[in-house]
Amino acid sequence: MNRIDDRPLTLVDEHAHAWTPAAARTRFRAGLTGPTAGVAAGHTQVNLIAVPADWAYDMLLFCQRNPKPCPVLDVTDGGAWTTVLAAGADLRTDLPRYRVWRDGELVDEPTDVLGHWRQDLVSFLIGCSFTFEWALAGAGVPLRHIEQGRNVPMYVTSRQCRPAGRLHGPMVVSMRPVPPAHLAAAIRESSLLPAVHGSPVHCGDPSALGIDDLGRPDFGDPVTVEPDDIPVFWACGVTPQAAVTASRPPFAITHAPGQMFLTDARDEQYRVA
């Protein structure tokens, strides 16, 4: 379920943390690709999935029944490519890379979906754990994937989501290695942002989630784990892509894992305390 070819990712600019969301979207529209962790500090990032209107209720119900991996921040009208989360943005062009799915199979990973867009598509913008990374960093929690210039590792788990209509599938998680001294802070800070996945779903032994090898993520990149680090797993907004694979809707468009949509919303808007 990784990229359909082995072309290397272009890592975003080392100064990308200082970009405005609009500047980031302009660069992505022009063809810059790569993981968006660390981009446009303080601004909310979201996952994208667009499905035909006759699948939209199933997707909405799937998200409602599985709020941990699928916290919805906006839903568009059918055919619309704009969102209240980002003035002037175009959901068809302003992500670094997309995925196009037909009958549950990944068929393309373009840098825009102008040629694939349909007038019946309803887009769901789902909270992303990159948003709470600024809270983690502010609390002194190391972020190994950012330190190592890699995409966050993501894994398909053995934990099944609650089905909804025609949609079903396993939960996907992202993993961040956390030193023991910082574990309480990582749990506390992320729990205050439930709209972007909130607290972890598991800490410790990966096998409890059916993960055999942390060095072989299903999405993203492996990260080097320090000897005392504890693997900490958060529900991930790539979960709808696993549902697409399992449920095989006739068509869908998603973001490429780790390459998110940058909104104008501020992270603190979603902090509950």
User: Residues 30-41: pLDDT tens digits?
Assistant: 999 998 988 998
pLDDT at residue 10 above 80?
A: no
pLDDT at residue 48 above 70?
A: yes
3-class SS of residue 138: helix
pLDDT at residue 3 above 50?
A: no
pLDDT at residue 238 above 80?
A: yes
Q: Is residue 37 a contact partner of residue 258, using CB atoms and an 8 Å limit?
A: yes
Mean pLDDT across 4-15: 51
C-alpha distance from residue 23 to each of 40, 128, 149, 214 (Å): 9, 20, 21, 34
pLDDT tens column, 186-231: 999 999 999 999 999 999 999 999 999 999 999 999 999 999 999 9
Residue 16 — pLDDT band, cuts 50, 70, 90?
confident
Mean pLDDT across 16-22: 91
pLDDT at residue 11 above 90?
A: no
What pLDDT does residue 41 have? 85
Of the listed ranges 61-70, 146-155, 161-170, 235-244, the one predicted with least confidence:
146-155
CA neighbor of 50 nearest in space, from 12, 95, 14: 95
Name the segment(s) of the chain with CATH classification 3.40.1640.10: 16-128+252-270
Taking domain 16-128+252-270, whether its CATH number is 3.90.1660.10 is answered by no
Q: For the chain, give the mean pLDDT.
A: 93
Q: Which residues are CB-contacts of 141 (< 8 A; sequence separation ≥ 6)?
A: 178, 182, 185, 186, 189
pLDDT tens column, 95-127: 999 999 999 999 999 999 999 999 999 999 999
Q: What percent of the chain has pLDDT over 70?
A: 95
Question: What is the second-level CATH architecture of the domain 131-235?
Answer: 2-Layer Sandwich (3.30)
pLDDT at residue 43 above 50?
A: yes
Torsion angle defined by CA atoms of residues 162, 167, 169 and 175, in that order, rounded to the nearest 10 degrees: -80
Residue 167 — pLDDT band, cuts 50, 70, 90?
very high
Q: Which residues are CB-contacts of 8 (< 8 A; sequence separation ≥ 6)?
A: none
Beta bridge partners of 126: 47, 72
pLDDT at residue 1 above 80?
A: no
